[in-house]
Amino acid sequence: MLSPVIVLPAMLNGLMAGAVYALVALGLTLIYGVLHIINFAHGALLTAAMFAAFFAFTLLGIDPYLAAVFLTPLFFGLGYALQRFVIGPVAHGDDRNFLLVTLGLAVAIENALLYFFRADTRTINLSYAFDVIAIGPAFIAVPRIVAFGAVIAVAMALWMMMRWTDTGKAIRAVAKEKLGAELCGINVAHIYAVTFGLGTACVAVAACLLIPTYYVNPTAGEAFVLIAFTIVVLGGMGSIAGALIGGLVVGVVESFSSIFLGESLGQIGIFIMFIAVLLARPSGLFGVRP
């Protein structure tokens, strides 16, 4: 059963799928690391971005990869506005309120999409969607390789931004010591909103990378949320490197558990890993104890 002909493709496909998971998780972990809140609306925003990419292609004929160029800033703005004008003021800084507000937003966004676009599952047809590249015994779809490369690039860009730009430094300062940062003249509400915007922008990129090979319906993003939570917990809340590595690990685990347990039970492996990690080591592999 464990011949390399099965293992290698499963491994590579898992890594490719894991890269997109990692990107979704990256947004989540960024928001968690700075605002210390769990953003339940993340999956709904991903679905919204997937719909945006879908209609950009079907109505305007814009290639999803090209659409990322304008969808990313658009969703950055959306995320910024959501945090600055809705989530922040409504939650009064209470942890549990953040949970409820983002849950409320998730329900509202998802069902607004359901109301407007109905429950139909939609896909797009791209000329290159089924192109494959052979790596040893494995055949990997080209869009998945593009996605893998793009995710690595985005993660690097984010890491460099956090490291070297003034905004990145301000974000790190707020994450470490909110009051201290505020006393140094950093506008915390603004930085919070920027972080939320960055997290939402990650989701927009992920949506554009997903749509060539995936489908979209009003609950499409939901499938990714719990996976993303798992990754964030696995990699350590707030850790960029953790999200990247955690994403790849989860992709591989899912790939292998669908081989051994069957397609419908494939996700069970992820959930069980999620619960096990949370119970055994809530700080994750790279994080610090909450």
Binding site for other proteins (CB under 8 A): 37-38, 86, 89-92, 94-97, 99-101, 103-115, 118-119, 218, 226, 229, 233, 262, 264-265, 267-268, 271-272, 274-275, 278-280, 282, 290
Nearer to other proteins, 115 or 164 (CB): 115
Q: Which is nearer to other proteins, 116 or 164 (CB)?
A: 116
Give the whole-angstrom CA distance, residue 288 versus residue 190.
26
Least separation in angstroms between residue 24's CB and other proteins is 15
Task: Report the distance separating Cα 198 and Cα 45, nearest Å.
Answer: 12
Residue from 79, 80, 52 nearest 66 by CA: 52
- 122 pairs with which residues across the strands? 216
Smallest distance from other proteins to CB 106, Å: 7
Q: How far is the CB of 36 from other proteins (least distance, A)?
A: 9
Q: Closer CB to other proteins, residue 58 or residue 283?
A: 283
3-state secondary structure of 39: coil
Nearer to other proteins, 150 or 227 (CB): 227
For other proteins, the closer of residues 92 and 183 by Cβ is 92
Q: Which is nearer to other proteins, 2 or 289 (CB)?
A: 289
Q: From the CB of 167, what's the least distance to other proteins, in Å? A: 26
What is the distance between the terminal CA atoms of the chain, rounded to a whole angstrom?
41
Q: Which residues pair with 141 in a beta bridge?
A: 132
DSSP 106-132: HHHHHHHHHHHH-S--B----TTTT-E
* Token code pair at residue 213: 């090979």
Q: What are 243's two structure tokens?
A: 């999200």
CA neighbours closer than 13 Å in the CB half-sphere of residue 246: 32
* Residue with Cβ nearer other proteins (218 or 247): 218
Angle at 159 between CA 158 and CA 162, to 5 degrees: 85
Give me the least distance between CB of 216 and other proteins, in Å please: 16
Nearest Cα residue to 38 out of 20, 25, 51 = 25
Min CB(100)–other proteins separation in Å: 5
Please provide residue 91's backbone torsions phi and psi, each rounded to the nearest 5 degrees: -80, -15
**From the CB of 214, what's the least distance to other proteins, in Å?**
20
Distance CA 242, CA 200 (A): 19
* Distance between CA atoms of residues 263 and 273, nearest Å: 17
Q: How far is the CB of 26 from other proteins (least distance, A)?
A: 18
For other proteins, the closer CB: 79 or 218? 218
Q: Which H, E and C letters describe 127-167, residue by residue? A: CCCCCEEEECCEEEEHHHHHHHHHHHHHHHHHHHHHHHCHH
